[in-house]
Amino acid sequence: GENVEQHPSTLSVQEGDSAVIKCTYSDSASNYFPWYKQELGKGPQLIIDIRSNVGEKKDQRIAVTLNKTAKHFSLHITETQPEDSAVYFCAASKGMDTGRRALTFGSGTRLQVQP
């Protein structure tokens, strides 16, 4: 099955700096790569996603890049703010002809933005 590795496990940055979180996946058939943010005591929430036919996607201060050849994708947060502090998860999945799909998650990155 799919295996997703995520690094680093913890990341501390100063407010205003950029943060980068990296993930690698094992199944070359994976074609959907979402990123989730989880705040304390809450369930994960989607912040951005990318599909395999796209190399980069941006949404304001957040961007995701995908390198299918190397099987890795990254989350970039620019101009970080204290409210960006949370745990971030990458995930991967593949659509199957049977209609079944489930996400495989990385182990998470705890991002702390220092004021």
Partner 1 sequence: DAGITQSPRHKVTETGTPVTLRCHQTENHRYMYWYRQDPGHGLRLIHYSYGVKDTDKGEVSDGYSVSRSKTEDFLLTLESATSSQTSVYFCAISESRNTEAFFGQGTRLTVV
Rule CB under 8 A: which residues touch partner 1? 1, 6, 9, 32, 34, 36, 41-46, 49, 51, 89, 93, 95-96, 98-108
| Distance separating alpha carbons of residues 90 and 99, to the nearest angstrom | 22
Sign (positive/negative) of CA torsion 6, 52, 79, 38? negative
The structure tokens listed for 33 are 């790569």
Minimum distance from CB of 37 to partner 1 (Å)?
11
Cβ contacts of 100 within 8 Å, gap of 6 or more? none
CB closer to partner 1, 40 vs 70? 40
- Closest CB to partner 1 among 9 and 114? 9
Q: Which is nearer to partner 1, 6 or 24 (CB)?
A: 6
| Token output for 75 | 């989350």
| DSSP-based three-state secondary structure for 84 | helix
State in angstroms the smallest separation of the CB of 90 from partner 1: 9
Least spacing, CB of residue 14 vs partner 1, in Å = 26
**Shortest gap between Cβ of 36 and partner 1 (angstroms)?**
8
Which residue lies nearer to partner 1 by CB, 85 or 93? 93
CA distance 27 to 62: 25
